[in-house]
Structure 1
Amino acid sequence: MIDANTGIFSALDDHCASRGIALKNAGKPRWIASMPMHRNFMINAVVAECLTFTPSRKLARVDISSKTYLLTIGFEQAGTSLSAVEMEITPAFLTVALSDLTPRPKATPSEIRDIVEWSDKKADSAYTGHDHDAIASLYPTLRIFDISGTSTEETWNVFFQSCIDECEIGASWIEGNLAATLRTLCDLESTRIPYRVLCRSVFDGDKSSFFLAQYRCLEALYAYSSAHSLGKHLSIKSSWGEIATALEDKLGWHPREEGSLERILRFSSPSDLREVLNALEKPIPSDDETLVRHSAKAIYWLRNSFVHYRPAQQLVDVESFAWATLSTAMTGIVLDVYEAVFSGQTA
């Protein structure tokens, strides 16, 4: 607890000093006032997972005994779609959040000085600590929700739901119908969809980042499909992930991307494939077989244009693409392929 509080106030000292204001009680003994009832949490709580978007926007899973909490910093709407009870920010929660997640203060150095210079143990022998609400006011909005019962595997699903909640208030270009469609991904099994990748791209101003995250979802699905089929054929009991890893590490083999993409796109809705081609300003074939092939080529082409440097592709004005339409269609494709892969249709 001493180390945690020392770190919190040292960070405030450094933040102000780096901006030309030296706090007069910098380095003096200071802490956040708390009661004995808070001590167990401060000592034993563990930040099991943390996702940092910026120094001022973070998500974390905090575990202690049989309890689990979602901790959000810099989010206004996160947690609203969850069946979770929001908790009061106590000195215990605040101390763990500030010491373990180290968010950047939102307050100006002058505002920090007004609160931090109020007192310290050297200046006042009766000092019992800084008020936790006053310290909390120096940072972006901090909220905490009880999500006990959430398994470790479900953590990133919860993070993703929280990100979509925040999108609804204009924190991202993702909104409306696209945000509603993305919520349907939250119903999928956490161990099979790379929510971690999706979360990191939600607030990226570069819309191509989210497209690449969705492409990663399709990569995960055709990797699963290929490895699962091989394991079943050879009666291998290892997990599909272990099989795929062994094939790549030991043999340097991985599924041929464009061919694998075309294979799994056969299980997606033709209407979504048409929307993809329409968003990318590509001709739309009339027959389904050609539609699948052209869609696979278009998606793979767009993926390569962001991952690799191709002089000709750099001349394409990607800003002209209908990104919301493209992303909504890609989400529909992921949902359709997911159902096909895990129901055994692709075996």
Structure 2
Amino acid sequence: MSQDLFAKLVDAVEASPDRVLTNSEAPRWIKKLSDEDATLMSQADVKEACIVTRQLRASMLQHEDTKLLCVSGLETDEFLPDAYDALELTPGLFALAVAELKLVPKASATEIFDAIEGSFQGEDGYEGHDLEDIAKLFPDVSIFQLNERAVSSGSIWRSLGVLLSVFYGQGPIELNEETLECLKDLYESGSDYVPFKNIVQGHLAMSWSGFFLELYRAIEQLYSVPKLVKLTDRWASSKPFYELAELLEHQLGWRPKEEDALRELMESCDASLLDMLANELCPDAEVKSKSVARAIYKQRNSLVHFRSALPEQDYSTPQWNKRISLMIKLVSKLYEKHGENYMIPRP
């Protein structure tokens, strides 16, 4: 890992016409902190890694009884959410982050040249580079120890989402505190079967419409559930619903009609949530499940299709926040009710 890390620095200098290293082949490394840190670098189990955006990247590591989240591209402070403890960056953790997050140097060729040209194996007194001298040449890396008893620590997308809900900062859209709290609740206590990758992608969307559509996609995954409940009541199968839905679509060309499927899902919602959705989306509704489904599907169509007959509505920031908060709550409730059936085989 140390060899690969310094190879990135050498390559960055050699790609520039302004500087030429006279010792590019010489071995270099970061000074060792401890045997424990070196062991972590060589033996840590990388559970997951994700490149979320060009800047935002994360990896989840397991080492003995410790679970760690490495994040680059997110500015945080000392007021961390529960279940997160900030750790100091070490040579081992830094090398793992550069390797697993595929980080490339951010410094200029001149800055890199000045940092490594005169320091290498064979130079009098060389014992390795100081961590801070090399870390500043790459994007910032933050390390968090996760409480493994926290539900969110089971998924890199959930763990990253919790941080995003707390440190959204100057994000692309103006999410208010209520919306961010709804997101935090979903990441921290939502069903394990929620497609959290979609939620994070929506959370970081450049537009309200992008966020709405990612939440809609999360709901859309469950569209086959009401029909499959009825089917398996009469034709038992131990397969999870997602496999049955895939079989029906591939073998028979069947998939549920979207608005009808959404209506059936709405009928399975608690009355209190249905009331909140109806009050916001269709306050004059007589049959709330039907009207809410129609309103959500109509908004989806106006965002997906670019036709004059389906104009995109211009909502205010407070209106968008209200709609997005309700959609987050809807995702949470639907997966709480149907997620396990959809994803897990039945006896």
Alpha-carbon spacing, 1:157–1:54, altered in 2? closer, same or farther (3 Å): closer
CA offset digits 1:137-179 (Å, max 9, x no partner) = 2233312122263688544322221221221x23342341110
Could you tell me which amino acid in structure 1 is paired with residue 117 of structure 2? E
Q: With structure 2 as the length reference, what TM-score do the two structures score?
A: 0.82
Structure 1 CA distance, aligned partners of 2:154 and 2:245?
A: 20
Where do 1:72-151 residues align within 5 Å? 72-77=71-76, 80-122=80-122, 124-147=123-146, 149=148
Residue of structure 2 equivalent to 1:235: 236
Structure 2 CA distance, aligned partners of 1:287 and 1:208? 24
Deviations 1:59-107 (A, max 9, x none): 1111234432111112223892231332221111011111221223343
Quick one: distance in 1 between partners of 2:340 and 2:201? 28
Distance 1:227 1:113 in 2: 63
Do residues 303 (structure 1) and 304 (structure 2) align?
no
Aligned residue for 2:277?
272
> Take 1:17 and 1:212, find their aligned partners in 2: how far apart are those partners?
44
Report SS of the residue matched to 1:68: strand
Indicate how the Cα distance of structure 1 residues 340 and 101 shifts in structure 2: closer, same or farther if over 3 A, else same.
Answer: closer
Query: Which residue of the partner structure matches residue 6 of structure 2?
Result: 9
In structure 1, what is the Cα distance between the partners aligned to 2:230 and 2:127? 64
Deviates more, 1:59-68 or 1:107-116: 107-116
When residues 133 and 343 of structure 1 are mapped into structure 2, their CA distance, relative to the original with a 3 A threshold, is closer
For 1:280, the equivalent position in structure 2 comes to none
**Aligned mates of 2:116, 2:224 — CA distance in 1:** 54
For residue 204 of structure 1, what is the aligned residue in structure 2?
A: 205
Corresponding residue number in structure 2 for 1:182 = 183
Cα distance in structure 2, aligned partners of 1:71 and 1:14: 24
**Would the aligned equivalents of 2:248 and 2:255 in 1 still touch at CA under 8 Å?**
yes
1:64 aligns with 2:63: yes
**Contact 1:258/1:297, CA 8 A, preserved across alignment:** yes
Q: Structure 2 counterpart of 1:330, which letter?
A: M
Describe the shift of the 1:234–1:106 C-alpha distance in structure 2 as closer, same or farther (beyond 3 A): same
Return closer, same or farther for 1:98/1:164 CA change in 2, 3 Å cut-off. Answer: same
1:254 maps to amino acid: R
Q: CA deviation at 1:19?
A: 5.3
3-state SS of paired residue (1:230): helix
Structure 1 unmatched ranges of 5 or more: 278-283
Distance 2:127 2:99 in 1: 19
Asked if 1:324 corresponds to 2:321, the answer is yes
Distance 1:96 1:113 in 2: 23
- Cα deviations by residue, 1:255-279 (Å, 9 ceiling, x for unpaired): 221111122223242222332x3xx
Return the alpha-carbon distance in structure 2 between the equivalents of residues 159 and 199 of structure 1: 8
**What letter matches 1:7 in structure 2?**
D
Local SS of the residue matching 2:138:
coil
| Alpha-carbon distance between aligned partners in 2 of 1:343 and 1:198, rounded to the nearest angstrom | 18
Contact 2:107 2:138 in 1 (8 A): yes
| Aligned mates of 2:227, 2:157 — CA distance in 1 | 25
- Runs of 5+ consecutive residues of structure 2 not aligned to the other structure: 342-347
Moved more, 176-185 or 124-133: 124-133
| Deviation per residue, 1:37-77 (Å, 9 max, x gap) | 33222222232211212333211111234432111112223
TM-score normalised by the chain length of structure 1: 0.82
Question: Once the two structures are superposed, what CA deviation does each residue of 1:176-218 show, in whole Å capped at 9, x if it has no partner?
Answer: 111012222121121x211011112322213222111111221
**For this pair of structures, how many residues does the alignment match?**
329
